[in-house]
Structure 1
């Protein structure tokens, strides 16, 4: 009995590895047009895939400044941020920033929203794969096309058209920083005429963008 269970588990693991590898390989070249999050969105879906060459560098710089300053330096996992998150959870607190852009991309493309150790385990596996197979530029390209940018709105292009009535290919520094400030809670934070925390956070991101450019923290996307 135990031998049969062991064989079944071994086959299941091998099939999962084969399927996940195949998916990641295909999506290195094929646009990600739909995700589980989009399919489950009751508000409908506005999206428009654009290659990274059609998305202003200001937005790349802004999301790195806001979400993952070590994007070009880590292997998909920011261990310092993870340790801080663990310490905060142990105290009963909650912090944002434990997940890298790579982890968020893996979750958005291959998995479902919400927490749990099972999903986190799958997320780690897919993060490892996309870092090894896609590389930083492709990860950023996919991230900026599948991230939720508003109610029923996904990706940089759809978000830019919604908020600024023009293409994501020509986002100003201010526009990019406001979009990045809203990313963690796109259904709740206003991009147009933001107030309070979102406005202040957008200003902080705009200031950090200069550091990102100066220190080449977005260089891996354009090498």
Structure 2
């Protein structure tokens, strides 16, 4: 996997079959390397995690989930043909042209909610069509290739995500959650998935309720 990431990121590669988020969570507990990206070398799918050093409460830190989703949507939008919709289902599903193309997960230090020591977020994005996929027969899932991004590879998606993620993290940190919320709400499949100013849905759900994965040890 050959790629160039913005200077704020570093890269570690894993063999196929290992879970980047689990590796990132274990590494973060030993000492957070902010912006360290761990990616599995998988030919047809982007599987990666990025480690972050929180600077606020757990509740506010978890706003980075929508931040990352917005960044990934911008990245995918820059690689797909024009007018192909990239939408969200709360809290973790990314849809392209009405088919699920990927998901996000989060692992975090939940023992110190006032100031978590670490957080890692990961994505699985289906980039190239698996050999056994018959186009048009599996409408609940899709790939970037099937939706027209025929020359895109997993490294290209990761590079694009990191560029947009750096921009959106800066906007969030400097200007608050409002701009992130506006984009998220504009990309929701369901109105019930719209977020308020604190990152909660209308019925009070927050990402932690379903999204945060605990890795023992």
TM-score by length of 1: 0.33
Greater Rg over alpha carbons, structure: 1
Structure showing the higher strand proportion among its residues: 2
Query: Structure 2 length normalisation: TM-score?
Result: 0.34
* Higher helix residue share: 1
